[in-house]
């Protein structure tokens, strides 16, 4: 892993001398975070795993290798950004579980014929939550929120291989407590247009807290991800498999059975369970460049919602998109639980 990071930045140093400031910051964050790759991450920053792309959400929520002319997908892999995103503006909104509402905006443009840069702001609001004291007395309410501010740069290493860096500032505010963190994502993408084959590697959320909530240090959800996307012959369908959470093999969960008090929780940690909780499967129907319809299956989402009231759709998601000249719209829908329907909307404008 260390060799990969150093090699990637060595390439960037030779080909992106004008961007050495961001590269130096990213390298420092990566070096500081490498010892944590083998450890568990804190759940404090798991909102970083929620995509802002309706196309990706429809494909299971995690997808680092789907090639799309849409600036919203680059939060999954900074190497998906390119000169073809010249003056693109993307706006996203998501109604998440409960009273949570997320929104953001992205902008990308061409830097040279072989490089591009982008900016992003993302807001995560969780609605109003009752505030109580240690005796359970209600004092009022508060509105917890998280925000990310990102700068992205990508460069064509060869005619088929592209590298990218995303530097993120992360601000969190929960009642009287706040925290700030810095992180970076490193990405590579190989794309063969003749075979419609895309392969990606991402090291996500390398970094740490600059300001803590209190005396406790919360780790970022550092992750290594691999992605494969490809279509076959004349079939207008792209298939994808994304492997994530690769910093740890064991991902056990509890099966609740029928939910009665007499039913004991059953720990699930078999080889098959651990394997499939690392994988996201997707199929994307693309009859032409203007329209797409995708479906995804995320086994980790299904098992995380493993309650007696889970519905048959848990783990599945669906999304569609339409583009007309300089304007595009995308929508995605999932229902991980009977009481939790999530909806995401994307707007895309080429200025």
Q: Helix, strand, or coil here: 306?
A: coil
pTM (predicted TM-score): 0.84
Q: What is the pLDDT of residues 144-187, one digit of tens each?
A: 999 999 999 999 999 999 999 999 999 999 888 899 999 999 99
The H or E element containing residue 173 is strand 161-174
Residue 17's alpha-carbon distances to 14, 84, 115, 160, in angstroms, are: 6, 22, 12, 21
pLDDT computed for residue 4 by the predictor: 42
The H or E element containing residue 171 is strand 161-174
* 222 within 8 A of 205, measured Cβ to Cβ: yes
In angstroms, the CA 96 to CA 57 distance is 12
Distance, C-alpha 41 to centroid of its chain: 16
Whether pLDDT at 322 is above 60: yes
In angstroms, the CA 253 to CA 251 distance is 7
Whether pLDDT at 311 is above 90: no
pLDDT computed for residue 305 by the predictor: 77
Nearest CA to 244 among 185, 181, 173, 178?
185
Share of the chain above pLDDT 70, in %: 84
Q: What is the pLDDT of residues 197-233, one digit of tens each?
A: 999 999 999 999 999 988 788 889 999 999 999 999 8
Residue 134's alpha-carbon distances to 137, 142, 216, 267, in angstroms, are: 8, 16, 20, 33
Query: Which residue in the block uniquely carries the two structure tokens 């014929």?
Result: 113
* Top-confidence residue, 324 or 214: 324
Q: What is 93-118 written as a DSSP string?
A: EEE-STT-EEEEEEEEEEEETTEEEE
pLDDT computed for residue 254 by the predictor: 82
- What is residue 308's DSSP assignment? T
Whether pLDDT at 309 is above 90: no
Nearest CA to 146 among 178, 114, 185?
178
Nearest CA to 344 among 149, 72, 74?
72
pLDDT computed for residue 307 by the predictor: 64
Confidence of residue 308 (pLDDT cuts 50, 70, 90): low
φ, ψ of residue 215 to 5 degrees: the values are: -80, -10
Q: What is the pLDDT of residues 246-261, one digit of tens each?
A: 999 999 888 776 555 5
Q: What is the pLDDT of residues 20-52, one digit of tens each?
A: 444 444 444 444 444 444 444 456 799 999 999
């Amino acid at each position: 892993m260390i060799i990969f990071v150093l090699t990637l930045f060595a390439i960037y140093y030779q080909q992106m001398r004008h961007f050495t400031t961001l590269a130096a910051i990213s390298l420092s964050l990566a070096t500081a975070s490498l010892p944590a790759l083998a450890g568990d991450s804190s759940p404090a920053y798991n909102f970083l795993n929620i995509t802002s792309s309706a196309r990706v959400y429809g494909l299971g929520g995690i997808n680092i290798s789907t090639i799309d002319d849409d600036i919203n997908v680059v939060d999954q892999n900074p190497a998906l950004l390119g000169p073809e995103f010249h003056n693109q503006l993307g706006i996203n909104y998501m109604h998440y579980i409960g009273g949570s509402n997320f929104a953001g905006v992205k902008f990308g443009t061409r830097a040279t014929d072989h490089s591009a840069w982008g900016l992003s702001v993302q807001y995560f609001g969780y609605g109003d939550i009752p505030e109580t004291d240690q005796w359970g007395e209600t004092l009022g309410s508060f509105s917890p929120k998280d925000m990310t501010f990102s700068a992205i740069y990508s460069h064509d290493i060869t005619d088929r291989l592209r590298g990218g860096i995303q530097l993120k500032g992360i601000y969190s505010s929960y009642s009287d407590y706040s925290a700030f963190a810095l992180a970076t994502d490193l990405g590579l993408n190989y794309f063969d247009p003749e075979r419609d084959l895309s392969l990606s590697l991402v090291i996500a959320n390398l970094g740490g807290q600059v300001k803590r909530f209190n005396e406790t240090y919360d780790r970022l959800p550092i992750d290594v991800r691999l992605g494969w996307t490809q279509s076959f012959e004349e079939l207008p369908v792209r298939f994808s498999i994304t492997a994530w959470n690769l910093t740890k093999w064991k991902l056990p969960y509890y099966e609740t059975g029928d939910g009665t008090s007499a039913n004991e929780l059953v720990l699930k940690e078999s080889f098959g369970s651990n394997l499939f909780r690392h994988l996201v499967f997707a199929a994307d129907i693309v009859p032409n460049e203007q329209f797409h319809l995708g479906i995804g299956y995320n086994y980790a989402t299904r098992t995380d919602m493993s309650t007696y009231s889970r519905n048959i759709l848990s783990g599945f998601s669906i999304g569609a998109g339409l583009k007309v000249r300089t304007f595009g719209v995308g929508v995605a829908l999932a229902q991980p639980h009977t009481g939790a329907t999530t909806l995401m909307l994307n707007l895309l404008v080429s200025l």
